[in-house]
Amino acid sequence: MENLYIEYLNKKFDEILDEYAIYLRKSRTDVEAEARGEGETLARHEKILLDLAKKMGIKIGKIYREIVSGETIEARPEVQNLLSDVKKGMWKGVLVVEVERLARGETMDQGIVAKAFKISNTKIITPMKTYDPNNEFDEEYFEFGLFMSRREYKTINRRLQRGRVSSVNEGKYVGSIAPYGYERVKIKGDKGYTLRKNQEANTVKIIFDLYAYGDLSLREVVRKINDMGLKPRKKDEWCVASVKDILANPVYIGKVKWNWRKEVRVYKNEKLIKTRPKNEEYILKDGLHKAIIDDKTWKIVEAKRSLNKSPIPRVKTVKNPLCGLVYCAKCGKKMKRRPYTDRSKEPTIYCENPKCDNVSSKLHFVEEKVIDGLKKWLEQYQFDYQEHIEKINRSKIELIEDTIKSLQDEVKKENDKLLNIFNFLEDGTYTKEMFKARSESVSQNVARLNNAIEEYKARLEQEKIVDKGKSVLVPKIENILDIYNLLKTPEEKNELLKTVLTQVTYLKTEKAIKKNSDPTNFIINLYPKINKEII
């Protein structure tokens, strides 16, 4: 009796092993096709694979339906379940409409999929071909298919990103949800969307006016608008975070932005997670929509916000607008403000090193010269910047970009060669030995070309970095020059200057004590927050 039961279990186990599974997943192209009314993708693919199973005379034990979109295995729960079952040896084979459905994103994910099917000896069956992972040539063909799908995925992704960047450059709004104060509307006679003000715009204007002109802190503004009965879009009351986001959003002065919070992947607790930190080099362009806030109000709010980013402990009140910025050009020590008990005497700035003979000056003269230096730099920058950019583009940048394009064309040719090599193997033109030799040679060429492309891309970024830094710095300096004299305290001025300057060096060799002597007979150099260029 016991032997009969064991025989029965073995028979059932063999039946289980003879079963096959189906894996279904939508691609981005499928989602777009569904939007055009071409039918539900998973249902269509399921019918194709069930018909294939019937034709092949195989039994389907389970269907894994991926209903979420995700680039990685970690973001797709059904493929995780499938791989777990494959590793246990549950299925003799898995049916998919194409191998790319299993792993199209990360190279690491493709390796995980390939390894799981190889170790468990599980076949991958598509309407076009059956892949045996333990057959050397099927394995290479399978890996090549994943490689090509990864390449296609990157190409599509780059095209989408270029399209979004192009739309932003044209002033279109590319976000899926309109910011508070606006609604998203289709542009007439053109592709894309823009924004139109709605009734929420009045609340936005009140928030900005209270913060800019009401002499209120952020928390006090939140309390005030809640007391006024003004409501956010989804919740009953405003919170500090939501008001802070509104005050920081340039969409309200008629701008559109992209990559404000660029996706970054980091490891946390040994898990790869996606984060969206603020990106200093985001794209900001004039939008097609109308502004809610005027430029003057925006600049005042921006200046006030910048002071709250790195608040100084309130133990001491900052009385020096140049605090922490001015360094002695002789000995390198930080220079300090010296007040006088006699209020008729103005405070000076001096080097505290007793062995240093750098001569002190009145603080307000140094402050004025710093602001004047920023003005002169900005005037010179605006005068020669366009000519400088055109010169760079005509020479190094264009040359490097052309080289990268030529190398990418060579990579495409090599990949086409590789595809032909596989075809020659399939139709018998190449022997296994010829195939191996030719494919290895082409693969080495592709690797060499890709390395060269990466090197040239690094050089291209290096060439552009100075101009990027300057283009980011210009609006900040313009903002300082517009509002500097409107700020009430030295602390506010100090924090604002620190947004554009890393340090100022000061040198004075002669005292200005004679009747007609110049009290500004000192030299300062300004160091902006880009590279090590001196203003």
Q: Which of 194, 195, 153, 179 is nearest to 232 (CA)?
A: 179
Closest CA to 194 of 176, 167, 169, 172: 172
Higher pLDDT, 205 or 460: 205
Task: Report pLDDT for 156.
Answer: 63
> How much is the average pLDDT of 515-533?
77
Q: Does 492 have pLDDT greater than 50?
A: yes
CA distance linking residue 406 with residue 398, whole number of Å: 12
**So what's the pLDDT on residue 29?**
56
Of the spans 16-30, 440-454, 514-528, which averages the highest pLDDT? 514-528
pLDDT at 280: 64
Instruction: Name the band, by pLDDT with cuts 50, 70 and 90, for residue 10.
Output: very low
Give the separation between CA 151 and CA 104, rounded to whole angstroms: 9
Q: Give the whole-angstrom CA distance, residue 41 versus residue 361.
A: 76
- Nearest residue to 212 via CA among 299, 311, 291, 290: 299
Which of the four pLDDT bands, split at 50, 70 and 90, describes residue 205?
very high
Residue of higher predicted confidence among 64 and 112 = 64
For the record, the structure tokens of 167 come out as: 């739309």
Task: Round to whole Å and give the CA distance between 446 and 452.
Answer: 10
Structure tokens at 441: 């040679």
Own/partner pairs, 515-521, CB within 8 angstroms, 24+ separation: 519/361, 519/362, 519/365, 520/361, 520/365, 520/369
Length, in residues, of the chain: 535
Q: Is pLDDT above 80 for 262?
A: no
Measured CA distances, 470 to 163, 381, 383 (Å): 26, 9, 13
For residue 173, the 8-state DSSP code is: B
Angle at which helices 28-35 and 41-56 pack, to 10 degrees?
120
pTM as predicted:
0.40
Burial class (CB in 10 A: 0-12, 13-18, 19+), 10: exposed
pLDDT tens per residue, range 412-432: 888 888 778 777 777 777 777
258 forms bridges with which residues in the sheet? Answer: 283
Backbone region of residue 168 per phi and psi (left: phi > 0; alpha: psi in -120 to 50; beta: other values)? alpha
In this prediction, residue 277 has a pLDDT band, given cuts at 50, 70 and 90, of low
Question: Which residues are CB-neighbours of 421 under 8 A, at least 6 positions away?
Answer: 430, 435, 438, 439, 442
Q: What is the enclosing helix (H) or strand (E) of 41? A: helix 41-56
Please report the pLDDT score of residue 348 as a whole number.
92
Tell me how far apart the alpha carbons of residues 494 and 500 are, in angstroms, rounded to a whole number: 11
Question: What's the chain's average pLDDT?
Answer: 78
More reliable by pLDDT, 179 or 435? 179
Question: Over 70: is that where the pLDDT of 490 sits?
Answer: yes
Residue 15's pLDDT is what? 45
Tokens representing 406? 């030529």
Q: How far apart are CA 506 and CA 348, in angstroms?
A: 13
CA torsion, points 496, 498, 504, 508, in degrees to nearest 10?
50
Angle formed at CA 224 by CA 222 and CA 230, multiple of 5 degrees: 80
pLDDT at 318: 83
- The three state secondary structure string of 452-521 is HHHHHHHHHHHHHHHHHHHHHHHHHHHHHHHHHHHCCCHHHHHHHHCCCEEEEEEECCCCCCCCCCCCCC
The gap from C-alpha 444 to its chain's centroid, in whole angstroms, comes to 32
Give phi and psi for 196, each to the nearest 5.
-130, 135
